[in-house]
Amino acid sequence: MTNAATAQVQAPSNGYRWMQLIIGVVCMGMIANLQYGWTYFVSPMAKAHSWDVGSIQVAFSIFVALETWLTPLQGWIVDTLGPNRGPKLMVAAGGVFVALGWLINAWAGSLEMLYVGAIVSGIGAGGIYATCVGNAVKWFPDRRGLAVGLTAAGFGAGAAVTVIPIQMMIASIGYSDTFFWFALGQGGIIFVLAWLLRSPQPGEVPSGSAVKVLQSRNSSTPGQMLASPIFWLLYVMFVLVSASGLMVAAQIALIAKDYGVSQTVILFGASTLIVAGVIDNLANGGARPFFGWVSDQIGREYTMAIAFTAGGIAYWLLGTAGTTPWTFVICAALIFFTWGEIFSLFPSTCTDMFGPKYATTNTSLLYTAKGLSAFVVPLANLLKAYTGNWYAVFAVAAVMNFIVVAMALFVVRPMRISISASENKAAVEHAHPAE
């Protein structure tokens, strides 16, 4: 490559990649309500149509499944279209699908139509999620945990600013019109911002050589990654932690109602549920860059151990001590703070292990674990109905988190150390072949 060509490739400033990151964060924030705002629509829909809550929650599971399971294909499309066209076209199309999905929800007169809306919005959200996370790990090899954490924070905390407007609009104009106006607003913003996105060209990003965590010297293809046992260990860990968090995210309004605290006014005229909704989304979003940054400093597995141990304790506390308004708010916030970081830790760990070249597709393949975990959510309703309370649900969630801590420390980390040692040995032998 000529010096002129090299200069052209390296032209974007450090500020440009931060601009790309910010656009990704905003786009993620615009799809946050599809998951984290859902809980506020469940009871109004059940009341308006006499639908069973468990049947309505099937739509939530469908959304999460489609939002995750198609991301490998969507990531492959982005990579195939290239760094300039791929991100733009995928996110723009995602904005259209997101808007259309909630418009269908607004007009749905049957559960079947509600499920169609979940399918459409899930496809759109997945394309946006895969593209924005893929861009983050590519633009920031030197701060991968932080960058992915900030991107994922948009998805986790984006709903925080709309918790109150959504509940106020549902109360004043009904859930259907609320779906309608948020569909147009969120989808429109995504569609406009999409045309500013692109992925980096070779030579545009800093070297990741100064990082403090284990990183592979090689980039594995999706096929090579799927053949690796450590990928499937990460997959199982992701399913366990994701399922525990989704059970609470989808049911938080119902849990507060069963505890008898949802409508209790506790702060500036706001009810327990509204205060919890704001704080939970902030905690969920804040956890992602915080633990992502921590993992850049001390390593992914040690960070997982700290976060998921605290998470297991938080689930137990919500089941035993969360039955008053303020303890409910605090315990729920602790759960979201120790759950949200999976969306920064697991993509970072995956890219550390399998390299950045195919990162969009590889991280998307791991992200499909969230789709599998979504189908645990209705089981929480069944367990609650069988036992008559939420305690057993939280006990199961706590155990799931403790299992993941043990896997991270005593299985995954030793395997990664062994793999890194083998790569270093091979590199030395290649550089100094035996005479």
Average pLDDT over residues 249-269: 87
CA-closest candidate to residue 249, choices 7, 18, 39: 39
* Short-list 134, 152, 142, CA closest to 200: 134
More confident residue, 232 or 32: 232
% residues pLDDT > 90 (the chain)? 54
Question: If 0-12 CB within 10 Å is exposed, 13-18 middle and 19+ buried, where does residue 146 land?
Answer: buried
Q: How far apart are CA 252 and CA 275, in angstroms?
A: 12
In tens, the pLDDT along 128-147 reads: 999 999 999 888 888 899 99
Highest mean pLDDT among 230-239, 260-269, 371-380, 410-419: 230-239
Tokens representing 361 are 């597709």
Identity (one letter) of the amino acid at 204?
E
Closest CA to 186 of 159, 163, 156, 151: 159
Question: With bands split at pLDDT 50, 70 and 90, how would you rate the model's confidence at 302?
Answer: very high
> Band of the pLDDT at 407, cuts 50, 70, 90?
very high
> What is the C-alpha separation between 39 and 357, in angstroms, rounded?
38
Q: What pairs with residue 270 in β-bridges?
A: 267
The band of 13, judged by pLDDT with boundaries at 50, 70 and 90, is low
**14-197+222-420 has which fold?**
Growth Hormone; Chain: A; (1.20.1250)
Rounded distance between C-alpha atoms, residue 76 and residue 127, angstroms: 10
Asked if residue 191 has pLDDT above 70, the reply is yes
Residue 116: burial class (beta carbons within 10 Å; 0-12, 13-18, 19+)? middle
- What residue spans define the domains of the chain? 14-197+222-420
Task: Count how many Cα atoms sit within 13 Å of the Cα of residue 238 in the half-sphere of its side chain.
Answer: 27
Report helix angle 14-30 to 144-157, nearest 10: 30
**How many residues are given for the chain?**
435
**Considering the chain, what percentage of its residues have pLDDT values greater than 70?**
93
Say what angle helices 272-298 and 300-321 make with each other, to 10 degrees. Answer: 160
Residue 92 C-alpha from the chain's centroid: 20
Q: Tokens standing for 258?
A: 């069963």
Q: Which of 175, 231, 240 is nearest to 41 (CA)?
A: 175
Under 8 Å CB-to-CB from 185, ≥6 apart: which residues?
Answer: none
Q: Can you tell me the mean pLDDT for 279-285?
A: 85
Residue among 25, 19, 294 nearest 145 (CA): 294
pLDDT tens digits, 347-370: 999 998 998 788 889 999 998 898
Q: Which two tokens stand for residue 105?
A: 């929800």
